[in-house]
């Protein structure tokens, strides 16, 4: 029995499964619907794998019209809907329910238009994050937000979660890089917002919908900004004896007016695991490591790195190693981007995602360490240091009864600490079911009511992605 | 006559909004009052000034964050940030400047100043938007009072935050119709060490549009990308442009196309040389040094290429590459002067001989053909009362907008009718 309560299925809807499947098949054709048990099982969870629910059926539409028809049917018949991209959510954001259908956009993965003059690409949202960059890489453009899951995760999921990545210190997160969207409301109504222009008229609908965790509508197309690649990029690896030194060094770099493209932090346990996995040449005898990356032409890079290493030198670094080749740079990033996977090979883990003010880093790391110790867990910390987004990975054993619940309690204590020091529960992964019940730690009842009113506007019957984001007692009363 | 009141804290704001709602009256939120002439003209029983809600409440330069009460003058924020060599990267344009009685018209240092709350309520972003994002992209957290008189917060003081719905964005560009902002928290960035500007003189709009788009497609992080038709370029006070005064005098009377790069000094030198290589052959070239560049872009931020007065001014947003087409089509119907910002995607348009509708019918028709949207930034109250000042939305979005307004402000207390006639 796990700690997070899941919504109860409506037996009346469940009993109508057969009839619902037939109706949906009429709308999308048999090739786009999965109703057998084995097929559905592949969709019964996301990357928050401790929680599973078999959906009534899975629909994989190929057009916006099909999405609209399916939603219109579900609206009319009171069937809940779970929007899904690739299912890599770490917070149970795409977790199904037994009385719900999953609508996955993975078959809608085409690039519709690329406009280099306007620096935009219009794509179907089922395209993978990396797929967008790959489509324009030949002309040396890229799509900036780069979640570590970018090989698998879809733009749809990125829009749902307002995802970030290691390079968003400079380039911003999803919402800063999207100019237009086609979205289907629960009623089946199709709404177009924005386009190639740099702002959309009226209230900021893009800003509202991006990050609403699939609770406002299903995004089927989007216009994203693409940017010209820098002439080159190079990371430098820095090793320190303490978190204090590493944190102070980051502050000093920023205070000097330098905003690198990325500043990534790993603590000793994280370094060890990632090095074993990626053989990136990470230093194993330091308490904290930073990957600082800068961009530009060759001489610009050298100039900037010199400035940075001059600052770094005043903080007693144990290691300062500038990448000497593209291969080395790739290896350095491979280790970082594979961090979750690498940790996953040695243990089960829960990945936290709080954000903290940078100045509180030493205090928070000490707090995390003592919290984890009190629960008897090991922890590895990975941190987007430039913007304060912290990923403590709590290592536990899922086969040990009760460990998951304790790991969750441990994680909750860590997130409460993040809020206490002025930060927040989640920087990029989203609330989902995982942090749902902690929302009251960060928000007052009035704050939450104001958010829920927006949900009422977009989906008055609360059929879209139910049981997420808000504590159940609140959302079920709505 | 409206009653004028200045609440001193957010509880005061809450009480006031509640009271106004109880008697079914309405209220206009005013910051510095510099932009009161934008939007549909409205009549409200109460005018609520945020001027007592003043002061920086948090500033952590190394965390790139500043918070201030909503009535804090933008100038105060800019001064505070300047002390740490930082800035608001989205470079808010000072819309109030183009009105009679505005700071520029009166030349009066005591003239009303825009407040930081208004910057976000109007989502006003300047030339650097093409590179660094808009005002809404830098709004990290808010405290606000909705039309029910409830005090709520959203976001926070950290740079990455996806906890719950993003109600900050809802406020950006809502023109005081959804809630009264009482405090805002912003992302700030370092000022660049050096700024350089490449000016190309005498390009046609079409050529210039091509250059602007090509410049944004270089890897040189062009952070300002404008083209001014000659009628507007001559309005910049060239004498204050420092060292290039005489050079500019030579080209006075020409259009100006300007590309800005900002970075550490050595990079600026390198990038300027690269831009010169690529675009130098298009026309006569000027290079503005750091000081002249800062002056030049400051003039753009202050909209000094627009004439002070009450003639019709439009702000048109379109796909960057379509900018010149929009202007050409409009100019077939009526004389106009245009400056293109955002690589061609933002057009500031003056219509010296606009018809009684401020040119709305033609402009909206052109925008509907080419794509984008248009806002009537300046016109007489009679015109603004008669036409849609803000772009009318497609049916579904209009309905959602109305629903959002009615859930934030069920009694229609806050600036009703400012954006759309019936809510
Ligand atoms: C190894 C690993 C590394 C990761 N690294 C990062 C990282 O660096 N940064 C980061 O931000 N995240 C990261 N994540 C989390 C995850 O990849 C992101 O949240 C991602 O955006 C999810 O995309 P997805 O396609 O898998 O979406 P899903 O998991 O399928 O769905 C995510 C959310 O979006 C909603 N949604 C899906 N499709 C639509 C649609 N069409 N319209 C509206 N809503 C929709 C879903 O309902 C759900 O709430 C990581 C995950 C893993 C497993």
- DSSP state string for A98-142: TTEEEEE-TT---EEEEETTTTEEEEETTSBHHHHHHHHHTTTEE
What residue owns the CA closest to ligand 1's atom 13?
A: A147
CATH topology of domain A347-420: Alpha-Beta Plaits (3.30.70)
CA B33 from chain centre, in angstroms, equals: 15
- Whether B2 is covered by a domain: the verdict is no
SS (H, E, C) B285-322: EEEECHHHHHHHHHHHHCCCCCCCECCEEEEEECCHHH
Residues B92 and B149 in one domain: yes
Closest CA to B314 of B256, B258, B361: B361
pLDDT along chain B (423 residues), means of 10: 93 98 96 91 95 97 97 97 98 93 72 92 97 98 98 97 98 97 98 96 96 98 96 76 52 85 95 97 92 93 93 97 98 96 98 93 97 97 96 98 98 97 94
B136: Cβ contacts below 8 Å, ≥ 6 apart: A204, A207, B120, B123, B168, B169, B172, B173
Query: CA distances (Å), A132 to each of A90, A128, A220, A227, B383, in order?
Result: 22, 7, 15, 11, 45
d(CA B409, CA B150): 10
CATH 3.30.70.2740 domain residues, chain A: 347-420
Residues B147 and B225 in one domain: no
Ranges in chain A annotated CATH 3.30.43.10? 3-104
How far apart, in Å, are the Cα atoms of A119 and each of A174, A196, B134, B308, B321?
Answer: 16, 8, 16, 34, 10
Q: For residue B236, what pLDDT is reported?
A: 83
pLDDT tens-digit profile of A52-96? Answer: 999 999 999 999 999 999 999 999 999 999 999 999 999 999 999
Burial of B258 (0-12, 13-18, 19+ CB in 10 A): buried
* Encoded tokens for B58: 């948090």
In A, residues 2-61, which contact B (CB 8 Å cutoff)?
none
CB contact under 8 A, B160 and A453: no
Q: What pLDDT was estimated at residue B246?
A: 46
Tell me the CATH architecture of domain A232-340: 2-Layer Sandwich (3.30)
**Which residues touch B344 (CB under 8 Å, ≥6 apart)?**
B208, B209, B212, B213, B225, B227, B318, B320, B321, B322, B323, B324
Residue B310 · residue B100 · CB < 8 Å: yes
Q: Which of B164, B189, B393 sits opposite A201 (nearest CB)?
A: B393
Beta pairing, strands B337-341 & B312-317: unpaired
User: In this structure, what CATH number is given to the domain that contains residue B219?
Assistant: 3.30.70.2190
* Domain endpoint, select from B158, B190, B222: B190
Residues B65 and B184 in one domain: yes
**Prediction ipTM score:** 0.96
Does one domain contain both B288 and B222?
Answer: yes
Output phi, psi for B187, to 5 deg: -80, 135
Question: Does one domain contain both B258 and B332?
Answer: no
Q: How high is the pLDDT of residue B253?
A: 72
Strands B46-49 and B3-5: parallel
Strand duo A218-225 + A178-184: pairing = antiparallel
Q: φ and ψ at A214, to 5 degrees?
A: 70, 15
Interface test with B, best of A197, A210, A382 (most B CBs within 10 A): A197
Q: Alpha-carbon distance A472 to A464, whole Å?
A: 14
Distance between CA atoms of B332 and A352, rounded to whole angstroms?
59
Residue B277: CB atoms within 10 A of its CB come to 9
The fraction of chain A above a pLDDT of 70, given in percent, is: 99
Q: Given CA atoms A356, A361, A367, A370 in this order, what sign does their dihedral have?
A: positive
Please report the atom of ligand 1 found closest to the CA of residue A218. 42
DSSP state of B73: B
CA-to-CA distance for A278 and A327, rounded, in angstroms?
12
Kindly report, residue by residue over A443-458, the tens digit of the pLDDT.
Answer: 999 999 999 999 999 9
CA nearest A440: which of A412, A460, A405, A459?
A: A412
**CA A428/CA A430 separation, integer angstroms:** 6
The segment(s) of chain A belonging to CATH 3.30.465.10 are 111-228
Q: Is A108 on the interface with B (CB under 8 A)?
A: no
Helix (H, G, I), strand (E, B) or coil at B332: coil
- The DSSP call for residue B352 is T
Residue B70 Cα to ligand 1 midpoint, Å, equals 35
Q: Which of B167, B190, B213 is the last residue of a domain?
A: B190
Q: Does the beta carbon of A61 sit less than 6 angstroms from any atom of ligand 1?
A: no
The reply to whether B383 falls in a domain is yes
B311 reaches A (C-beta below 8 A): no
Do B255 and B222 fall into the same domain?
yes
Domain region containing B286: 194-301
Whether residue B269 sits in one domain with residue B167: no
Q: Do B391 and A258 touch (CB under 8 A)?
A: no
Same domain, B373 and B329: yes
Ligand 1, atom 28, residue with closest C-alpha = A87
Which residues of chain B neighbour A389 with C-beta distances below 8 Å?
Answer: 158-160
Ligand 1 atom closest to Cα of residue A90: 15
Domain count, chain B: 3
- Please report how the helices A445-458 and B395-408 are oriented relative to each other, as an axis angle in degrees rounded to 10: 160
What confidence tier does A1 reach under pLDDT thresholds 50, 70, 90? very low
CATH number of the domain encompassing residue B385? 3.30.70
Strand partners, A381: A392
Same domain, yes or no: B378 and B267: no
CB within 8 Å of A29: residues ≥ 6 apart: none
Distance A147 CA to ligand 1 centre (A): 9
The predicted pLDDT at position B235 comes to 86
Q: Where in chain A is the domain with CATH 3.30.70.3450?
A: 232-340
Residue of A86, A176, A279, A165 whose CA lies nearest to B132 = A176
pLDDT at position A100, please? 98
Please compute, for residue A251, the number of CA atoms within 13 A of its CA located in the half-sphere on the CB side: 18
B200 shares a domain with B177:
no
pLDDT tens, position by position, A350-403: 999 999 999 999 999 999 999 999 999 999 999 999 999 999 999 999 999 999
Domain A3-104 class? alpha beta
Q: Which of B117, B102, B4, B19 is nearest to B68 (CA)?
A: B117
Q: Which of B173, B190, B207 is the last residue of a domain?
A: B190
| Domain formed by A111-228, architecture | 2-Layer Sandwich (3.30)
User: Which residues, numbered 147 to 186 in chain B, qualify as contacts with chain A under a Cβ-Cβ cut-off of 8 Å?
Assistant: 150-154, 156-170, 172-174, 178
- Measured between beta carbons, the chain B residues lying within 8 angstroms of A431 are 162-164
Contact predicate B419/B40, CB 8 Å: yes
Lowest mean pLDDT among A276-285, A410-419, B389-398: A276-285
Question: Domain of B142: which CATH number?
Answer: 3.30.465.10
* Pairing of β A389-396 and β A378-384: antiparallel
Check pocket membership of A157 for ligand 1, CB cut-off 6 A: yes
């Amino acid at each position: 029995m796990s700690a997070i309560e899941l919504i109860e299925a409506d037996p009346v809807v469940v009993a109508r499964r057969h009839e619902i499947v037939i109706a949906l098949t009429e709308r999308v054709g048999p090739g786009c619907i999965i109703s057998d048990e084995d097929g559905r099982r592949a969709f019964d969870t996301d990357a928050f794998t401790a929680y599973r629910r078999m959906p009534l059926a899975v629909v994989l539409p190929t057009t916006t019209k099909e999405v609209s028809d399916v939603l219109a049917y579900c609206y009319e018949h009171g069937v809940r809907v779970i929007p899904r991209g690739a299912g890599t959510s770490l917070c149970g954001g795409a977790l199904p329910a037994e009385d719900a259908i999953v609508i996955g956009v993975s078959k809608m993965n085409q690039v519709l238009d690329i406009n280099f003059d306007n620096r935009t690409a219009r794509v179907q949202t089922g395209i993978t994050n990396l797929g967008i960059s790959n489509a324009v890489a030949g002309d040396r453009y890229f799509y900036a937000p780069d979640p570590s899951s970018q090989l698998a995760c879809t733009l749809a999921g990125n829009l749902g979660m307002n995802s970030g990545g290691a390079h968003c210190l400079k380039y911003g997160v999803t919402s800063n890089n999207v100019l237009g969207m086609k979205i289907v409301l629960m009623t089946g109504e199709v709404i177009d917002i924005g386009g190639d222009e740099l702002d959309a008229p009226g209230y900021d609908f893009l800003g509202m919908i991006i990050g609403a965790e699939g609770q406002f509508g299903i995004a089927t197309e989007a216009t994203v900004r693409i940017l010209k690649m820098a002439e080159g990029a190079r990371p430098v690896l820095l090793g320190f004896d303490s978190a204090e030194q590493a944190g102070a060094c980051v502050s000093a770099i920023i205070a000097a007016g330098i905003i690198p493209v990325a500043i990534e932090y790993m603590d000793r346990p994280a370094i060890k695991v990632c090095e074993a996995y990626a053989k990136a040449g990470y230093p194993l005898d330091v308490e904290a490591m930073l990957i600082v990356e800068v961009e530009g032409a060759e001489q610009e890079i050298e100039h900037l790195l010199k400035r940075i290493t001059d600052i770094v030198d005043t903080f007693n670094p144990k290691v300062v190693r500038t990448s000497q080749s593209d291969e080395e740079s790739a290896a350095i990033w491979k280790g970082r981007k594979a961090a979750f996977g690498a940790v996953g090979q040695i243990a089960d883990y829960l990945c936290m995602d709080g954000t903290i003010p940078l100045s509180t880093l030493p205090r928070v790391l000490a707090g995390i360490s003592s919290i984890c110790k009190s629960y008897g867990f090991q922890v590895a910390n990975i941190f987007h240091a430039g913007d304060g987004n912290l990923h403590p990975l709590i290592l536990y054993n899922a086969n040990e009864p009760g460990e998951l619940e304790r790991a969750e309690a441990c994680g909750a204590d860590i997130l409460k600490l993040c809020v206490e020091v002025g930060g927040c529960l989640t920087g990029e992964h989203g609330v989902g079911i995982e942090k749902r019940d902690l929302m009251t730690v960060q928000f007052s009842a009035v704050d939450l009511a104001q958010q829920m009113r927006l949900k009422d506007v977009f989906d008055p019957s609360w059929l879209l992605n139910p049981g997420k984001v808000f504590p159940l007692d609140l959302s079920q009363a709505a | 006559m409206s009653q004028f009141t200045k609440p001193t804290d957010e509880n005061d704001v809450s009480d006031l909004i509640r009271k106004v709602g109880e008697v079914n009256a309405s209220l206009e939120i005013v910051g510095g009052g510099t932009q009161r002439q934008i939007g549909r003209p409205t009549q409200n029983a109460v005018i609520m000034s945020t001027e007592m809600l003043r002061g920086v409440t948090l500033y952590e330069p190394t965390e790139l964050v500043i918070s201030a009460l909503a009535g804090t003058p933008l100038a105060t924020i800019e001064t505070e940030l300047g002390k740490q060599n930082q800035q608001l990267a989205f470079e808010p344009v000072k819309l109030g400047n183009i009105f009679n009685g505005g700071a520029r018209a009166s030349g009066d240092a005591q003239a009303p100043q825009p407040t930081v709350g208004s910057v976000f309520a109007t989502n006003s972003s300047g030339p650097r938007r093409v590179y660094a994002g808009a005002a809404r992209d830098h709004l990290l957290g808010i405290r606000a009072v909705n039309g029910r008189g409830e005090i709520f917060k959203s976001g926070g003081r950290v740079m990455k935050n996806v906890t719950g719905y993003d109600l900050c964005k809802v406020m950006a560009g809502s023109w005081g119709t959804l809630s009264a902002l009482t405090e805002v928290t912003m992302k700030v960035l370092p000022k660049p060490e050096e700024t350089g500007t490449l000016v190309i003189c005498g390009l046609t709009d079409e050529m210039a549009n091509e250059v602007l788009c090509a410049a944004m497609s270089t890897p040189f992080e062009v952070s300002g990308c404008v083209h001014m038709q000659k009628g507007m370029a001559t309005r910049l006070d060239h004498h204050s442009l420092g060292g290039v005064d005489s050079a500019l005098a030579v080209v006075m009377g020409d259009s100006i196309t300007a590309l800005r790069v900002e970075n550490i000094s050595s990079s600026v030198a390198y990038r300027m040389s690269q831009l010169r290589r690529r675009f130098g052959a298009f026309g006569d070239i000027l290079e503005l040094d750091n000081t002249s560049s800062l002056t030049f872009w400051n003039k753009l931020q202050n909209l000094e290429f627009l004439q002070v007065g009450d003639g019709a001014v439009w702000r048109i947003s379109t796909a960057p590459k379509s900018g010149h087409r929009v202007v050409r089509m409009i100019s077939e119907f009526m004389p106009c002067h245009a400056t293109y910002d955002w690589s061609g995607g933002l057009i500031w348009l003056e219509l010296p001989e606009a018809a009684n509708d401020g040119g709305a019918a033609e402009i909206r028709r052109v925008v509907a053909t080419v794509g984008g949207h248009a806002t009537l930034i300046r016109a007489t109250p009679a015109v603004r009362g008669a036409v849609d000042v803000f772009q009318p939305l497609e049916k579904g979005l209009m309905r959602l907008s109305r629903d959002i307004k009615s859930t934030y402000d069920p009694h229609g207390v806050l600036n009703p009718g400012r954006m759309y006639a019936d809510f």
